[in-house]
Amino acid sequence: MGTNMRSKWWGWGAPEKSYDLSRKPYFWPYLNNRLDIPENPFLFPPSMEKIDLPPTYLPVNTLNRLKSRLPPGQIFTDRESKLTHTYGKSYHDLIRIRRAIFPVVPDAVVYPETEEDIQAVLRWAKENGVGVIPWGGGTSVVGGVEAFRLKSQDGLIVIDLRRMNRILKIHKESLLADVQAGIFGPELEEQLQEKGVTLAHYPESFEYSTLGGWIAARSAGQQSTRYGKMEDMVESVRLITPAAILETPCFPAAANGPDINQIVVGSEGILGVLSQARIRLKVIPGRKFYTALLFRSFEEGVEAVRKIMQSGIKPATVRLSDADETEFVFALREAKSGRFSSSLQKFGMKILGMKGFLPEKRAFLILGLEGEATSVRNEWRRIVKMLHPFSPFKLGEKTARQWYDHRFENPYLRDTLMNYDLLVDTLETATEWENLWNLYRAGRTAVLSACDTLQIKGIVTVHLSHAYPTGSSLYFIILAVPHVGKELEEWWEIKKAASDAIVSAGGTISHHHGIGLDHRPWLKQQMDGTSLRLLRQIKQTLDPNGIMNPGKLLPD
């Protein structure tokens, strides 16, 4: 089999790993108090052998023509390869896996090793009317890699780039690196840091996503407030399209017309297959200072963050949770061992309430500074002065370190909750500061109103996690208990209500997850007709037969 799976095909992360709730005794009581949780888990992933695969759509003789053009060992048609390349990692994807819903699977998965291999595949696909889905880590949460075939297409294949995973050259003097698109986050950072440099791009999917996927989705990492999003990290790209190879020039900046890099970044595989990129590096910071603070209200926390961002300071991480998310975070704290420590912890929580940090209002902030030690120290001193009028409670570096050390583990909790048939989904958006509260209220209200209409209990938590001088992102996390057997329908009702509200309230439909299949209906409200026509014309130029990542990004 050719998948070389890095993560669970039915869920998140390492197959042997799960979210450990054994030392977190407050979580289930908290959740049971807010939702009607089933007494026992009952919705488990099926075994691959029990899933009925749809019939193969691609004629055998057509696939054999592709095999004749590639070296042996690059094409796989086994059950595992097909199933593991059908869906991404959204709730929508994972609930269909658990319900064994597979109306379409790819006819084959191809693992190219060179650009020439990719070109051969695209020529064959163009000649035979076969759809092509580029695949990195498969972690899209908006349907960006879902097996979707147009009615006009005579087959569907996936190009998995994980064998194109090398750093080709590090230009240390210029702080640049030429890197193949299929490299995963941990391998990329390990090799860069051996040379004293870093990309410093750490999305929550870091361990299981690739450079190509980050570029395709216009990804943001957890330190993006300082280091930028992927569009800020790309110097040039090589894109293998059905029409030709597109290679952008390597300049730190230029005025040679519009920046073609910014057309490729965020194009989600609809223009071609990204083979490699020249990325902008940083020297590994000499000091990383992370601390946690508690504000009396989300409003105070937002105002504090706005002042920091408009002061000229660029924190690495700013993650501010509203009251509902703060309680969720506190519910996941570990119990202190020993009677004295446990009593002290409970007493400390009471003291917070007495000081005005009330559970129904308080807001939890993770603040991270990175850079040269003196610079970090001076920035923190300036921030302390800015925070003085708010009198936040300093939870300290130890609390922040716990977040930092476990920051890639939250998706594992979703798998546990889905065993109980809980709906767990996310929405993320962004707007200017002056519109932030309007967007915050509109998103929350839409989710809770949809749950009321469906007669199900729901929770919506919000955090601010990517901040700018002009505004910020808002990240909504939704938990609900759908009616058994109606998960997909009720998910869509909540998703549609929230997305309608976000767009109507002046937010972007996506800050860093992309469009994929799921967000296409709202793109027409985010881009005017001229912009959409221009994007379609670019696709027509590079992909005249419309074979690349069918159904994604562009609205019908």
Q: What are the start-end ranges of the H helices in 210-283? A: 211-217, 224-227, 230-233, 261-264
Domain ranges across the chain = 37-162, 167-283, 287-407
In 3D space, the residue among 154, 159, 80 whose CA is nearest the CA of residue 119 turns out to be 159
CATH of domain 167-283: 3.30.465.10
For residue 63, what pLDDT is reported? 97
Do 137 and 213 touch, CB atoms closer than 8 A? yes
Q: For residue 211, what pLDDT band results from cuts at 50, 70 and 90?
A: very high
Do 465 and 512 touch, CB atoms closer than 8 A? no
Proportion of the chain above pLDDT 90, given as a percent: 94
pTM, two decimals, is 0.95
CATH of domain 287-407: 3.30.70.3450
CA distance 271 to 549: 8
Indicate the average pLDDT of the chain.
95
Question: What does the DSSP assignment read for 41-98?
Answer: ----PPPGGGS-PPPP-S-HHHHHHHHTTS-TT-EE-SHHHHHHTT--SSHHHHHHHH
Do 326 and 365 touch, CB atoms closer than 8 A? no
Architecture field, domain 37-162? 2-Layer Sandwich (3.30)
For residue 509, what pLDDT is reported? 98
pLDDT in tens, 161-181: 999 999 999 999 999 999 999
pLDDT in tens, 485-499: 999 999 999 999 999
For residue 350, what pLDDT is reported? 78
Task: Report the SS3 class of residue 332.
Answer: coil
Q: Residue 1 pLDDT more than 50?
A: no
pLDDT in tens, 87-113: 999 999 999 999 999 999 999 999 999
For residue 4, what pLDDT is reported? 45
